[in-house]
Amino acid sequence: MHTESIDKLIQSVSFHHELVTNGLSAGTLEAIEKASETRFFRDGGLLYGQGAVPRGVYRLKSGLVKISNTTSGGYRQLVYVYKPGDWMGYRQNFTSEYYPVEGVAIGNAETTFIPVEEFIRLVKAHHDFSYNLLLTLSQEFSAWVNRTVYLAKFPVRVRLAIGLLFLDKQFRSAGNEPGTILFSRTDLADMIGATIETTVRTLGEFKGNGWVTARGRTIQVKDRNALFQSVGEL
């Protein structure tokens, strides 16, 4: 079994947002809870749009959220899929920049929301919170670098294997049936930076090998070890 090695690979391209609340004092946790309000989104619901002014910070409680960027020429890149416990849209609240991506719910999602004024107040008033956010931003940078390298340097077959292993972990974290990914072929292609035709053909190869099953929007990972071994040495 390659469980430890698979986890290490996926950790390298994942955000570790447990760092945000790790070790916070009871007072800080209470202040965050007091400043938070609950918001619900149905499947396909928009949390924030690309180019929108930041209004606050979301923390995902249940469900999944995908973020993507679309260029003026219509090229779309699906950048990340957030899982429960992740914090979303907080970087732009520091810089007052427009959102460079849109955030859309995958399935029904429940979040907490902290208005930007309250978020900045919490950061200034609670040093343990601001320190943890700094750690999280630093870790995110490493994950972004790794994801960029994988997209730029490795063939579609490797990118798809890594993408499926990553999605398998995120969907498991959201409480989905083990190994079941609900993801359109378009989203999958946009995530790994490939055409739909190439993505479908490669997914068909994986299916033929018995590593996955695929029907409609449902993909089931049947052999994580085989997918991992197909990645080879990075």
For 156-195, how does the pLDDT look when each residue is reduced to its tens digit (9 = 90+)? 999 999 999 999 999 999 987 766 899 999 999 999 999 9
Work out the pLDDT band at 199, boundaries 50, 70, 90: very high
Verify that 54 and 158 share a domain, yes or no.
no
Give the mean model confidence (pLDDT) for residues 54-60: 97
Same domain, 19 and 94: yes
Note whether 173 and 136 are same-domain residues: no
Shared domain check, 78 and 130: yes
* Tokens of residue 149, six digits: 């390298």
Select from 114, 149, 184 the last residue of a domain: 149
Rounded Cα distance, 17 and 161, in Å = 24
In this structure, are 132 and 189 located in the same domain?
no
> Exposed, middle or buried by CB within 10 Å (0-12, 13-18, 19+), for 198?
middle
pLDDT for res 153: 86
Residue 7: CB atoms within 10 A of its CB come to: 14
3-class secondary structure, 6 = helix
pLDDT digits (tens, 9 = 90+) for 139-155: 999 999 999 988 888 99
Mark which of 100, 125, 149 sits at the end of a domain: 149
Regarding whether 115 and 205 lie in a shared domain, the answer is: no
Give the residue-averaged pLDDT of 217-228: 92
Beta-bridge partners for 213: 220
CB hemisphere CA count around 145 (13 angstroms): 6
Residues 6+ apart with CB under 8 A from 16: 136, 139, 143
Q: What is the spatial distance between Cα 178 and Cα 36, in angstroms, rounded to a whole number?
A: 31
CA dihedral defined by 29, 35, 38, 39, rounded to 10 degrees?
-130
Q: Looking at the DSSP assignment, which residues form a beta bridge with residue 109?
A: 41
Do 64 and 135 belong to one domain? Answer: yes
Residues 80 and 195 occupy one common structural domain = no
Residue 116, phi then psi, degrees to nearest 5: -55, -40
Q: In terms of Cα–Cα distance, which of 55, 5, 15 is closest to 170?
A: 15
Instruction: Give Cα 58 to chain centroid, integer Å.
Output: 13
Q: What pLDDT, on the 0 to 100 scale, is given for residue 232?
A: 76
Number of domains forming the structure of the chain: 2
Domain that holds residue 65: 15-149
25 located within any domain: yes
